[in-house]
Chain A
Amino acid sequence: MTAAHPLAPPLAAGGAGEHRTLIISLFALFVVATLAITLRAGRQTRGADDFYAGGRQFSGFQNGLAISGDYMSAASFLGIAGAIALSGYDGFLYSIGFLVAWLVALLLVAEPLRNSGRYTMGDVLAYRMRQRPVRTAAGTSTIIVSIFYLLAQMAGAGALVTLLLGITSEWGKILVVVLVGIVMILYVTIGGMKGTTWVQMVKAVLLIAGTLLITFLVMLRFHFDISALLGAAAENSGKGAAFLEPGLKYGTTATSKIDFISLGLALVLGTAGLPHILIRFYTVPTAKAARKSVNWAIGIIGVFYLMTIVLGFGAAALIAPGEITAANKAGNTAAPQLAEVIGGGAGSTGGAVLLAVISAVAFATILAVVAGLTLASSSSFAHDIYVNVIRKGNATEKEEVGAARWATVGIGAVAIVLGVFARSLNVAGLVALAFAVAASANLPTLLYSLFWKRFTTQGALWSIYGGLTASVLLVLFSPVVSGKETSMFPAADFAFFPLENPGLISIPLGFLLGWLGSLLSPEKPDAAKYAELEVRSLTGTGAH
């Protein structure tokens, strides 16, 4: 195959028109079906418990599915498969932190959070503290983490869908971002947590089924011999045995090695501090069910990442060299390209159908994740900031749910506008930043709140604002934003900080500041409140 095709050779080649019709039909089918589900969920959404926590009646298995649907973003699905397809082992290495991280949630966070909180992360952080300052801080951190993550997903959605559909015009890209934003606002305003949960469950089933199918077909091609698959991938990649060894992506320089350690730390410690994940634990009736849902999530996400190994190495083995990077430099289309090849190649019906199916799954993935992020940030805005800070807790349930719906529209609109402006910037680094903030600002505060009796309001504020500011500033002055060809603003250069991942510095700093802020605090910790929080969080007494 020559490299004469201008863009996405296997995708745009041959019957591109048919592909497009099929892909768009499947997208439309997913949107219509999920909106119908959302409307049904909306009719059952009355009070705040319904809107924020889906009525707390989901089972551990259902929530485990929804957590997986919330967590496995397009970055996981397409990004990791692509990273393995291009960098072999290092792409696999990248995926592992995302899974191990769930143990922090399981052992330390999920159950106490479910027992002592109500709707948001801020409920737990502010439990024993002065409400207004800590709620403000928790809300700020929640909204910033979610917006970063959301922005990466929105811009990614625009880039991805246009790539899959072969749209090249700027207006086409803008239209895709706006449509994704509108659907996401509809899911959340109409269906609240109930609707969002169902969308995430449907998406998780589709994603697992789609990946399972491709994995099976790839393994069939290699007679279920994983060593043969690896060998073919190493050979076809042109890098030989090095393709199966560490170093191609993260091991190139001394800085990139440290950078990966910093990233790994943020991944492992960040997951349990991601607000859109944390609020999912409120959708089940008990802490035991929360534990069960994390166990399901670990199983589902683990199997999914194991399958991405086959997808990634399969893409490296079966797609002609150079075609993956020709379609997308980061390898984001490796999985759909593999689907086309494994289905019979470009121009074949099997290829066209599988490509369309996998593209639709990727689209479903984006929609489910952005809905979860929008819900997390609008919940926190309404519950933490509007009701508990601005109205000082004096708002009716109806007013609160109304505020949450309006906040959804507002945050959705902000995400659309930012997504449109960011559509041509490389904002993939924002996902890593979201994990870093979650690990540096949210996790220390959560752990201290739950487990350290001397933690004070000042400690909470120092760790949230300190961890948040440190991560954001370090990234602002890093090669993620400027100074490199792959930066967000490649033309500018104010990258004083060499690492793209701030975690190595900002995470210890967040923990240190929480400790120091408490020690230097003029006010004493509220012992009675801590007794209440500790007993409730470990026993589930008085849980909502």
Chain B
Amino acid sequence: MSSAPPTGPGPQEPPGPAAAPAPPVADADPTRPPHPYTEVQRSAEFGELRRDHRAFAFPLTLAFVLWYLGYVLLSSYAGGFMAVKVAGNVNVALVLGVAQFLTTFLIAWWYSRHAARRLDPKAEAIRNRLEGAA
């Protein structure tokens, strides 16, 4: 408990005026000290972990869903373009289809690298501290 990250003096929103110095959230059972999850959630360290995950995963999800839908729309409404031959009998439609496979593999690899480098060490540090304190 003592090693839990101190919450800075920055803007907080204590749930009740009386709860300020005590553990931050009044649980249903006031006799049991609440797990310091709320404190961790508000810590700068966790904020960074959350941002690193969201700033990577959310835009990328939007991007690959749009890329997929774009490909579907091209297949439905741009037949002429999709029929253009690229090499032998291979046309644009097939190339873009195979490109969907390649981007999927690529994004999976990219996310995994990001997670191993940026997310795992932070998650592990927070977890160790919380579990060590419990």
Give A contacts to B, CB under 8 Å.
Answer: 89-90, 92-93, 96-97, 99-100, 102-104, 106-108, 111, 226-228, 230-231, 234, 241, 244-247, 250-251, 257, 260-261, 264-265, 268-269, 288, 291, 294-295, 298-299, 302, 305-306, 451, 527-528, 530-532, 534-536, 538-542
Contact = CB atoms under 8 A, between A and B. Distances in A.
B107 interface: yes
Main secondary structure, interface of B, reads helix
Contacts of B89: 227-228, 230-231, 234, 241, 244
Most buried by A among B53, B76, B91, B124: B76
Contact of B94 (A89, A97, A532, A536): A89
Interface string B98-121: 101100110111011001000110
Contacts of B104: 99-100, 102-103, 298, 302
A68 to B, nearest CB: 14
A288 B71 CA distance: 31
A261 B69 contact: yes
Interface of B: 15, 25, 27, 34-35, 37-38, 40-41, 46, 49-50, 53-54, 57, 60-61, 64-65, 68-69, 71-73, 75-77, 79, 82-83, 87-91, 93-94, 97-98, 100-101, 104-105, 107-109, 111-112, 115, 119-120, 123-124, 126-127, 130-131, 134
Most buried by A among B53, B87, B109: B53
Contacts of A295: 108-109, 112
Contacts of B108: 102-103, 106, 294-295, 298
Contacts of A230: 88-90, 94
Contacts of B72: 93, 97, 260-261, 264
A261 to B, nearest CB: 6
A305 B73 CA distance: 21
B37 A93 contact: no
Contacts of B126: 535, 539, 541
Nearest to A230: B89
Contacts of B25: 527-528, 531
Contact of A541 (B75, B94, B130): B130
A224 to B, nearest CB: 13
Nearest to B89: A230
A92 B111 contact: no
B111 A107 contact: yes
A145 B26 CA distance: 39
Given A107-B61, A291-B115, A535-B37, A93 B97 contact: yes
B27 A96 contact: no
Contact of A527 (B38, B82, B107): B38
A101 B112 CA distance: 16
A535 B79 contact: no
Contact of B64 (A103, A226, A250, A538): A103
Given A264-B69, A541-B126, 14 more contacts: A89-B97, A103-B108, A108-B57, A108-B61, A111-B115, A230-B89, A231-B88, A245-B91, A260-B72, A288-B120, A306-B98, A527-B15, A531-B41, A539-B130
A274 B87 CA distance: 39
23 contacts: A89-B75, A90-B75, A93-B72, A99-B101, A100-B104, A102-B104, A103-B111, A107-B107, A111-B115, A241-B83, A244-B89, A245-B79, A247-B75, A251-B75, A260-B75, A291-B112, A295-B109, A451-B54, A535-B40, A535-B46, A538-B50, A539-B49, A539-B127
Contacts of A541: 126-127, 130-131
